[in-house]
Amino acid sequence: MKSTERHKLKENEFARSVAHARDLVETRGGDIGRVVVAVVVIGAVVLGYSWWRQSRNTRATASLAQAVAIYEAPVVVPAAPAPGSPMPVQQSGTYQTEQAKLEAALPKLMETAEQYPSADAGLTARYYAASALASLGRYAEAEQRFQEVADKAGSKIYGRTAKLGQADAQVAQGKYDSAIAIYKELAATAKDHIPTDGVLMALGRASVKAGKMDEATRAFQRVVDEFPTSVYSADARRELEEVRKGSATAAATSGR
């Protein structure tokens, strides 16, 4: 086939394609128009949501940063003034006591948590708020906040550390059985972010307070056997010995 003939054939094919497309638009123009409009609307919604989400995350992060700045502010006790001198002015950005600092940070942390509950920054703020409440001795409130973090975070790192905080708050309230159950769960599934040796120490100490000396013995013994180089190893040996002495004394007393 000559080059000119091939060129004409291609032109004819192109012309037929154009004609077919024109006929399709004429016969189904309404449908095509609706599809185009739908695509444009969906694209606008996706872009709008992406922009809104990014903007919301930016605001959440900024709010968290302001709250954490208070939470981590230095505690500076002003020096006593010389006789006859006025009281020194507290340095900006500092607090006289840890309690004053935490009480100032807490409302801001909870504001961020409540305003951005689904954002990572909001979850982090709720965790910090729970920690602040525990440090202030408000253990029932701390337990509730830790539970909320655990529920929202699931298997994420904050979810696991929140479970640990929840158990600690329960121990402080004398809720030993529920705390021990959490420690056991965490000890069985602990990851790098939650060292198993630390969880076992908490389990052993909670068991001692609950009077469950066999549980305590097993927990402390695991630290000694499985984590001989742990920073808790010496404490585990000492507390294990105390448990054994206490158990022996109790046995001797009951046998009299």
Q: Is the pLDDT of residue 159 over 50?
A: yes
Q: Cα(199)–Cα(163) distance, rounded to whole angstroms?
A: 11
Same-domain pairing of 168 and 182: no
For the chain, what is the mean pLDDT?
82
Q: Is the pLDDT of residue 140 over 60?
A: yes
Average pLDDT value for residue range 140-162:
91
Same-domain pairing of 115 and 136: yes
Q: Angle between the 98-115 and 120-135 helix axes, to the nearest 10 degrees? A: 150
Same-domain pairing of 134 and 198: no
Instruction: Indicate the residue among 121, 145, 173 that finishes a domain.
Output: 173
Is 51 a domain residue?
no
Does this model's pTM top 0.85? My answer is no
Give the structural domain span for 139: 94-173
Average pLDDT value for residue range 117-130:
93
Contacts of 124 (CB under 8 A, 6+ apart): 64, 158
Instruction: Indicate the residue among 173, 196, 227 that finishes a domain.
Output: 173
**Number of domains observed in the structure of the chain:** 2
Cβ(218)–Cβ(212) below 8 Å: no
The model's pLDDT over 50-80, given as tens digits with 9 standing for 90+, comes to 544 566 789 989 999 999 999 999 998 877 7
**CATH number of the domain within which 245 lies:** 1.25.40.10
Same-domain pairing of 157 and 184: no
Residue 30 pLDDT grade (very low, low, confident, very high; cuts 50, 70, 90): low
- pLDDT of the residue at 34: 46
Q: Which residue, chain included where needed, has tokens 């309690």?
A: 99
Same-domain pairing of 207 and 239: yes
Instruction: Indicate the residue among 173, 190, 207 that finishes a domain.
Output: 173
- pLDDT of the residue at 207: 97
Same-domain pairing of 154 and 197: no
